Amino acid sequence: MPASHLFLGIDGGGSSTRAVLSDSEGRVLGIGSAGPSNPFSSGLEGSRTAIDLAVGRAFSTAGVPRAPAAGACLGIAGLVTPVQEQGLREVAENLSLGLDILIHHDLRIALTGSLLGTPGAVLVAGTGSACYARSAGGREVITGGKGPLAGDSGSGYWIAHRALRTAVKQLDGRLRTGPLAVAVLDYLGINKASQLPGRLHREGLTPSKLAGFAPRVIALAAEGDEVAASIIGAAQEALTAMVEAAARQAWLESLNLVFAGGIATSEPFGTGLRDRILKILPDTTFPSSALPPAGGAVLEAFMSAGIEITSDGVERLQDGLQSL
């Protein structure tokens, strides 16, 4: 028998998957976590395993027998093709997640959670970057989000990669040496430039590991290093361009914009980014995010079922999702 009064919200990312089980009034009954479910990096079988584990743990913590929910919304990172969407829909149906199943990208549930379904945009800048805008009429636009090779402008990876290339020029004498070169060697755990090829190519350096150097670049810029400041300024300009393009194409004359991701929400990076955005989009406001993405997925399931989103319901979700 279906759990006719229960709803599932699933936030599937490249590092973890979270499932939230809620009743129709916004009471969070259970939360479950598992590994990554990005189909691009984990494959559909990996996505299935993570989603199954996270949902099972949400029902377990709720003390409720697992059954199809009235509605389930999956917001999944790396969802870029119709084939992936169909594959995830088949996964959700095979796992009997819900009677009504929604498959969205993770940016959509992030925006829905942040602004409670109202028009606006979310700018995500962490390891990668993307901006998603949605109008009152449902017009949707995504800028960026094409991965480290083709895009992710202004992201942690983008910042760190530029810093690495600049540091190499400092180390071999093409640029005057400075704090950035020292910081790069320290981060990589090596002592001299000749060790770089082995560290980068034999030992390897994943995009997420390289992106971990970005906060140090931000700190160097704040400390007055001009080279680092130039990289950070370029990153903020790149992210600003993504926001402008998304807002323009979504026909948003005034903009509610929420930042997400470790880079966009860090300081002083975020303050500088807001200042640049306001110069070209002066009618922009920066509200605080109301709910995390998993909460946005629950709201999407509510809206699909015709359930009104009340202030009391939002408060109950906020109380139940404080740990996320």
Domain ranges in the chain are 3-116+290-320, 147-285
CATH of domain 147-285: 3.30.420.40
C-alpha to C-alpha distance for 174 and 38, rounded to whole angstroms: 40
| pLDDT given for residue 205 in this prediction | 80
75: burial class by Cβ within 10 Å (0-12, 13-18, 19+)?
Answer: buried
Fill in the amino acid letter for 117. G
| pLDDT given for residue 3 in this prediction | 64
What's the mean pLDDT in 79-97? 90
Identical fold for domains 3-116+290-320 and 147-285, yes or no, is yes
Give percent of the chain above pLDDT 90.
Answer: 78
From residue 267, alpha-carbon distances to 2, 195, 259 in Å are 46, 32, 12
Helices (H), the chain: 39-62, 82-94, 106-115, 147-150, 156-171, 179-188, 196-197, 207-211, 214-222, 226-249, 269-280, 293-304, 311-320
C-alpha to C-alpha distance for 149 and 147, rounded to whole angstroms: 6
Is the pLDDT reported for residue 1 higher than 60? no
The two structure tokens encoding residue 259 = 């930042």
Q: How many CB atoms lie under 10 A from the CB of residue 147?
A: 14
Higher pLDDT, 322 or 205: 322
- pLDDT by residue (tens digit) across 275-310? 999 999 999 999 999 999 999 999 999 999 999 889
| pLDDT given for residue 43 in this prediction | 86
Is the pLDDT reported for residue 131 higher than 70? yes
CATH of domain 3-116+290-320: 3.30.420.40
Interstrand relation of 129-134 and 120-125 (parallel, antiparallel or unpaired): antiparallel
- pLDDT by residue (tens digit) across 177-221? 999 999 999 999 999 888 888 888 888 788 888 999 999 999 999
C-alpha to C-alpha distance for 135 and 142, rounded to whole angstroms: 12
Q: How many CB atoms lie under 10 A from the CB of residue 306?
A: 7
Higher pLDDT, 301 or 151: 301
